[in-house]
Chain A
């Protein structure tokens, strides 16, 4: 079965610091990759996704992620975080064939706390 690893469980940064959250997955075939964010008291929403093409994808609010196939990684980055980026971030992978296409496998999440 596919699995997704997020190695940083809690990251604490000051405003304007740079951010990189790691995500690794285990699946050798074609994958689609997602980062979801959950702000306090809100539901999950999509930050960005990789489907095909340019491995560097840009999302909302200045976030970007790079798909490195050889490393099975899809790390999330932001050059300068803001207090409003405090949230939980989930990496997710869609992989498989036929009827299993569509289901997402999520990592356990990384809680980001940004101090003003």
Chain B
């Protein structure tokens, strides 16, 4: 399978614990995005990388959230001191590179997501 993969698919944790999710993008894609989706809503942008550089972070990404893409390949999203409000589906997407308008038109390929439940 050459699509975007995410691990784990499901995570149940107790409030206050730390969790880490992994995303493996399509191999030739140099852009990687994280989104969060709650029930009844569309995905909301969290952050994105071009290669290993984190270029933008949403205000949704509080200090408890950190994302890395150390070698420009896979990425991790860590949530520290989880809260019940963090319960959501965390989606990863990747897209080919480019610049300007060409970049804007690139399709983002989504992974299956990691469903986080904080009890």
Contact = CB atoms under 8 A, between A and B. Distances in A.
Interface stretch (A14-22, A65-73, A100-108): A100-108
B18 interface: no
Given A108-B42, A109-B42, A43 B110 contact: yes
A42 B112 CA distance: 7
B112 A103 contact: no
23 contacts: A4-B42, A6-B42, A32-B104, A42-B112, A43-B112, A44-B43, A44-B93, A44-B110, A46-B108, A51-B104, A52-B105, A94-B104, A95-B104, A101-B101, A101-B103, A101-B104, A102-B33, A103-B48, A103-B56, A106-B35, A106-B42, A108-B40, A108-B42
Contacts of A103: 33, 45, 48, 56
Interface of B: 31, 33, 35, 40-45, 48, 55-56, 91, 93, 95, 100-101, 103-108, 110-113
B42 A101 contact: no
Given A43-B113, A45-B110, A100-B56, A90 B43 contact: yes
A92 B104 CA distance: 12
Interface of A: 4, 6, 30, 32, 34, 36, 42-46, 49, 51-52, 90, 92, 94-95, 99-109
A43 B9 CA distance: 12
Nearest to A109: B42
A39 to B, nearest CB: 12
Interface of B is mostly: mixed
A34 B40 CA distance: 19
Nearest to A102: B103
Contact of A99 (B45, B56, B101, B107): B56
A101 B31 contact: no
Contact of B43 (A94, A102, A104): A104
A104 B55 contact: no
A108 B39 CA distance: 9
Contacts of A32: 101, 104-105
A95 B103 CA distance: 11
Given A32-B104, A43-B111, A99 B41 contact: no
